[in-house]
Amino acid sequence: MDAIDLDGVTKAFRTPHGTYTALHDLNLSVPASEFCAIVGPTGCGKSTTLSLVSGLERPSVGHVRVGGQPVDGISSEVGFVFQNDAVLPWKTVLDNVSAGPRWRGASKREAVQQARDWLLRVGLAGFEDRHPHQLSGGMRKRVALAQSLINEPRVLLMDEPFSALDVQTRSIMSNELLRLWDLTKPTVLFVTHDLEEAIALADRVVVMTAGPATVKDIFTIDLPRPRSVQEIRFTPQFVELYHEIWQSLRSEVELTYTRSMTALEVV
């Protein structure tokens, strides 16, 4: 049984300028414990895919299933790491991380105990009483990761989680993510526009078409694990995969770019 199953999914939004189709007839299955990366041109509907899996949005047509169950509202099986900071700025690090279990009905003591364990795992022991604004971007991402993983989701959705970080912090965080992923092995759906990041992290890379998005190609990344994100990009296999996937992605990126330029001319 697949952990995530998108079956003939179309998603249209109503806008002041008429309907806008973000996804069209999307089919994608992700087996349990797989790390699946989605790449595609900007604004193609990658994030929409994640909202559908999380239950924040419903498909206009088609079916979305998580763990075999149709998605009907927000599922407790799912964790979501957002592109922008979504940790609560008025809660301390400890309160942010323990919030999930508290909201799900755990006792305060239990939740705090779990939160301390997770802060240790993400390397933030000693920062329990800080507020988010006192932390760097990388550390806030660690809080966000601990906040999601403490619920032990079977499915972890990540929407360009590291795109706001500087290049060095980013590759460190990617390594951290792989190590954390190894602890509970959730199914990961990782959206990014960075092809290198996708290949370095994932078991499979899904290339999406320019909007309305649908699956164009799927590539299996058979690079050995455990991987070091910084080192792996110098191996010949990586370069070969990059070349191959870029061939597929390139035309979509170019199409999106041309469209945005013509849209500008029309305006």
Partner 1 sequence: MSSAAVHPFTVEPDPAVALTRPPVVVVDPVAVRRQRRRRLLVNVIRLLVLGVTLGGWELGVRTGHIDAFFVGQPSGVASQLKTWAQHGTEVGPLWTQVRVTLQEALTGFAIGVVAGIVAGITLGRVRLLAEVFGPFIKVLNSIPRIVLGSIFILWFGLGPSSKVALAVVLVFFAVFFNAFQGTREVDRNLVANARILGAKRRHVTMQVVLPSALTWIIASLHVSFGFALIGAIVGEFLGAQQGLGLLISHSQGTFNPNGVLAAMVIIAVVALLAEGAISLLERRLLSWRPPQLSGADL
Collect all residues with Cβ–Cβ distance below 8 Å to 98 and sequence separation of at least 6.
Answer: 108, 111, 112, 114, 115, 150
- What would the two tokens of residue 198 be? 């996708």
Edge-first strand listing for the sheet containing 2-15: 18-31, 2-15, 61-66, 69-70
Smallest distance from the beta carbon of 70 to partner 1, in angstroms?
A: 18
CB of 209 to partner 1, least distance (A): 26
Nearer to partner 1 among residue 78 and residue 207 (C-beta): 78
Cα angle at 117 between 185 and 34, to 5 degrees?
A: 10
Distance CA 225, CA 209 (A): 29
Q: Which is nearer to partner 1, 39 or 119 (CB)?
A: 119
Structure tokens given for 98: 């323990």
Tell me which residues touch partner 1 (CB under 8 A).
Answer: 54, 56, 74, 76, 78-80, 82, 84-91, 99-101, 103-104, 114, 117, 120-127, 130-131, 133-136, 138-139, 147-148, 151-152, 168-169, 172, 176, 179, 183-184
Which residue reads 């952990």 in tokens?
Answer: 3
* Distance in Å, CB of 141 to partner 1, minimum: 11
Q: Which is nearer to partner 1, 192 or 209 (CB)?
A: 192
Indicate the residue among 76 and 220 with the shorter CB distance to partner 1. Answer: 76
In this complex, which beta carbon is closest to partner 1, that of residue 79 or of residue 211?
79
Smallest distance from partner 1 to CB 239, Å: 26
CB of 123 vs partner 1, minimal distance in Å:
4
Spatial CA neighbour of 40 closest among 162, 205, 158, 161: 205
